Amino acid sequence: MVLKAVTGSLPCVGIVGLGLMGGSMGLDLRRQGYRVIGVSRQAATCDRAIARGAVDEAGCELERLAAADVVVLCLPIDRVGAIATQVIPHLRPTAILTDVASVKGAIVAEITPQWPRFVGGHPMAGTHESGIEAAQFDLFQGRPYVITPTATTDRAAIATVAALATALGSVVYECAPTAHDRAVAWISHLPVFVSASLIAACTGETDPQILALAQHLASSGFRDTSRVGGGNPELGTMMARYNREELLRSLSTYRDTLNDLINQINTEDWAGIAETLTETHAARSPFVDDPPHPHE
């Protein structure tokens, strides 16, 4: 889908926060002919974004955003709300505002009353690196991009953000912010805390020789299951802080499930264990193998 502004040309896109997400978005959009204006906290980041071709122009001044038709906030979760409040006075009245943060309920509730053309967004794409140097082409290609409007969100603004996500090669999903937060708690936030608790439990081995042996023997199974728990501590903390209720709900179910497994092993219920593992074997595929299908 090609996104056209009323003038017939591609809209001018402002990106606030030129890190992994903002820089990657800029690279893809500029390649397609969009004009991209960048704003970031550090002048050095702005210079690198220009040098890398992620933006046409960039600086630390929010005034630059007055020229943008669409502004995308690509900031750390705990900065999005406060910076949106600073950005809004600089927007033209018709401008559409969106963000890419991994948690939606709190952010949508904070910004929507301030700007009727705000549409929450979350591209389900990324790497474990951060900053402008980590920005890359095609980061969003083929990945789900969740848009989380409310009942009052301007429909034209939703269509514009959906078209921008489609231009990035993403598969667009639309759902309520609460549904988003509950779903990502299961598949993104819970895994971080399960994986972190796995690492923490292993380091609880009290015999130093056994611990050292385990560290030498650890291979692909441990590498896979510990990967997200060994990631960025700030991001994990923000997931817990900004999606607290849904994370607690999923962790509590996880604890119950773990207790059931402990009971099965304790009582030597091998048939029960086999049944559980047969069920989980079959249940994994829809989470990891099916291509994403957009749904309203």
For 20, the token pair is 């992994």
- Which one, 86 or 259, has the nearer CB to ligand NAP? 86
72 is a contact residue toward ligand NAP (CB under 6 A):
no
Contact with ligand NAP (CB under 6 A) among 58, 68, 71, 74: 74
121 is a contact residue toward ligand NAP (CB under 6 A):
no
Q: Beta-carbon neighbour count of residue 6 at 10 Å? A: 8
Contact with ligand NAP (CB under 6 A) among 45, 98, 112, 160: 45
CA angle 250, 252, 257 (to 5 degrees): 95
Cα–Cα distance measured from residue 222 to residue 201, given in angstroms and rounded to the nearest whole number: 13
In DSSP terms, 80 is beta-bridged to: none
18 is a contact residue toward ligand NAP (CB under 6 A):
yes
3-state secondary structure 60-99: CCHHHHHHCCEEEECCCHHHHHHHHHHHHHHCCCCCEEEE
236 is a contact residue toward ligand NAP (CB under 6 A):
no
Minimum gap (Å) between residue 211 Cβ and ligand NAP: 31
Contact with ligand NAP (CB under 6 A) among 11, 14, 19, 120: 19
Contact with ligand NAP (CB under 6 A) among 10, 30, 41, 169: 41
CA angle 109, 102, 202 (to 5 degrees): 130
Q: Binders of ligand NAP among 171-210, rule CB under 6 A?
A: none
Q: Report the DSSP pairing between strands 70-73 and 13-16.
A: parallel
Contact with ligand NAP (CB under 6 A) among 58, 100, 146, 185: 100
Task: Name the residues that contact ligand NAP, by CB under 6 A.
Answer: 16-22, 40-42, 45, 74-77, 79, 83, 100-102, 122-123, 126, 130-132
